[in-house]
Amino acid sequence: MRFNTKKRTDEENAGIILHAYEKGINYFDTAPGYCEDKSETIFGLAFEKMANARDEFFVSTKKMPTEGGAEEGIASVKKSLERLKIDYIDFFHVWCIRTWEQYELAIKKGGLYEGLLKCKEEGLIKHIVVSTHLPGNEVSKIISDGYFEGVLMGVNILNFRFRWEGAVAAQKAGLGVVAMNPLGGGLVPGYQEQLKFITEGDETPVEAAIRFIVSAPQINVALVGFNNKNEIDIACKVAENARPFSEEDIEKIKQKMSKNMDVLCTGCGYCESSCPVEIPIPRFMQVYNEKLFCNKSEQDMIVLLNNNRQWGILEGVKANPKDCIKCGKCEEICTQHLNIIERLEEMAEWDG
């Protein structure tokens, strides 16, 4: 979804894909709607030139669950195949699950999942997988239901504590795990000076963030959004030299994050069960982190809060900051002694 379609032609962008393949990258992710709906078409131009090596690379695309159900899902698969110019899709995602209701819509009788099963029986897709923005514990529940063969989730060195439970559950279940937003959706390259503490030796924060995902045994694919050939070369260099992260390494990262970012919520979740009005405090604190970490303005935070309500970790929440009764239970249990009530009051003002 990072193709520059304003300054480059479709053919030039396809050339970036061919460069990635020549460098050894073999997993290519796209979706309808990406890049003004040009992404699948761009990949198709590249895949035509890679046709003789079709069994050497993997293709991933997606479809959101809708009331259109199975028939709409089948039509989406066929349209993607036509634009991608391939005979089958390796990994087809039930896309962008942000609430439990969306998940139930996908798997119900006559729903998207049923349509994808038919496509799998016909050989149009190889594996049915899920793409989700849910927190780790809810990802674990989806995995335990057993419908999917893999999971695509937003996880990186900055937020992994919030999602790691899902990655671990998937690994234990034998599912593949693909990490989207390994650079925090642009947060890491945008704030490299502030993130020097995550590095080792002479590596940059971008390299450190990629190394974390590439090396983690719980993650199978690092889904890096490339904009040019140089970014591909950097990521490949990191991948070639990355050493595996042990459980001890991961624990050290947690400690390092706490030490250097002690004003940020780590998403441990202890406070959530303490709230008598059931505000999902860790989710709101994750959004508030951006104000502290990135020095965002009030207007920036209003926009960010709204975006997270539509597409992020606040989608579907029922209790909000304005519902806080200031009982103080969350602050009593907070391991970092954060001023949660004050932050919720501020977020209530952003909410209008």
Residues 125 and 89: beta-carbon distance below 8 Å: yes
Same domain, 158 and 291: no
Percent of the chain, pLDDT > 70? 97
Residues 79 and 63: beta-carbon distance below 8 Å: no
Residue 337 lies in domain:
272-350
Residues 308 and 318: beta-carbon distance below 8 Å: no
Same domain, 174 and 323: no
Name the range with the highest mean pLDDT among 56-70, 205-219, 294-308: 56-70
Model pLDDT, residue 47? 98
Residue 225 pLDDT greater than 90, yes or no? no
CA angle 60–63–64, rounded 5-degree value: 135
> 3-class DSSP state for residue 97?
strand
pLDDT tens-digit series, residues 68-122: 999 999 999 999 999 999 999 999 999 988 788 999 999 999 999 999 999 999 9
Residue 194: pLDDT band (50, 70, 90) is: confident
Model pLDDT, residue 259? 63
Q: Provide the number of structural domains found in the chain.
A: 2
Mean pLDDT of the chain: 91
Higher pLDDT among residues 302 and 187, named by residue: 302
Cα radius of gyration rounded to whole Å, the chain: 21
Model pLDDT, residue 258? 64
Same domain, 290 and 184: no
Mean pLDDT of 131-149: 92
- Type of residue found at 47: F
Same domain, 137 and 284: no
pLDDT tens-digit series, residues 36-59: 999 999 999 999 999 999 999 999
Residue 123 pLDDT greater than 80, yes or no? yes
Same domain, 143 and 218: yes
Mean pLDDT of 179-189: 82
CA-nearest of 178, 246, 196 to 26 is 178
pLDDT tens-digit series, residues 250-288: 777 777 776 666 677 867 677 888 999 999 999 999 899
Same domain, 239 and 153: yes
CA angle 231–234–238, rounded 5-degree value: 140
Same domain, 192 and 93: yes
The CATH number of residue 233's host domain is 3.20.20.100
